[in-house]
Amino acid sequence: MASLEGPEIPASEPTYDERPWGAWELLGEGPNYKIKRLVIRPGHRLSLQYHHRRSEHWVVVQGEALVQRGDETLHLKPDESCYIPVRVVHRIANPGPEPLVIIEVQFGHCREDDIVRIEDDYGRATPAR
Bridge-based pairing of strands 81-84 and 54-62 is antiparallel
| Residues 4-53: tens digit of each pLDDT | 565 555 545 679 999 999 999 999 999 999 999 999 999 999 999 999 99
Mean pLDDT, the chain, whole residue set? 90
Average pLDDT rounded to a whole number, residues 97-114: 93
Q: What is the pTM of this model?
A: 0.85
Quote the CA–CA distance of 115 and 42 in Å, as a whole number: 23
| Residues 44-94: tens digit of each pLDDT | 999 999 999 999 999 999 999 999 999 999 999 999 999 999 999 999 999
pLDDT, residue 11, reads 45
Question: Domains (ranges, CATH) in the chain?
Answer: 16-119 (2.60.120.10)
Quote the CA–CA distance of 112 and 87 in Å, as a whole number: 15
